[in-house]
Amino acid sequence: MSDKEIILTQEGLRKLEDELEMLKSVKRREVAERIKVAIGYGDISENSEYEDAKNEQAFIEGRIITLEKMLRNARIINSDEIDTDVVSIGSTVTVEDLEFGDKMEYAIVGSAESDPLNNKISNESPVGRAILGKKEGTVVDVSVPAGVIQYRIVDIKK
């Protein structure tokens, strides 16, 4: 991961800090205990429990490093920075699919906290890129693998 700026909302910052704390204080101890127990089984050269625990330990340490780097390079978007005149990171936007008439509401967030299943889309996603900086009422074309979808921006709020 490069040292690029990571844009986060307050909620996103809190989630990353909580995950980091949990990994450092809980998961590290759990894995260390699993390794200790697995070593107690004897020969570690053919010990799958030991191998699994070491792999999990490597994953956890890698994730800790990644989270620490993200937090070091974080820029927090405060609610008073969010402009409701145009779509920006931190905005909650309602868009209407012009072909089917479906309306969807998305929170525009930085890529580190995107969660499409919970309607949090990245400013770097196709929809996020298309609507960023646009005003209410604007129609945008979004290129997707199936073609082009047209959305109208119906509402922008904090």
- What are the structural domains, with CATH classification, of the chain? 6-77 (1.10.287.180), 79-157 (3.10.50.30)
Spatial distance between the Cα atoms of 68 and 62, rounded to a whole number of angstroms: 10
pLDDT tens digit sequence for 56-111: 999 999 999 999 999 999 999 887 778 789 999 999 999 999 999 999 999 999 99
pLDDT reading at 1 higher than 50: no
Which residue matches tokens 């709020």?
157
pLDDT reading at 128 higher than 80: yes
CA distances from 123 to 45, 80, 87, 99 (A): 47, 18, 10, 23
55 vs 1, residue with greater confidence? 55
Spatial distance between the Cα atoms of 17 and 31, rounded to a whole number of angstroms: 20
pLDDT value at residue 3: 74
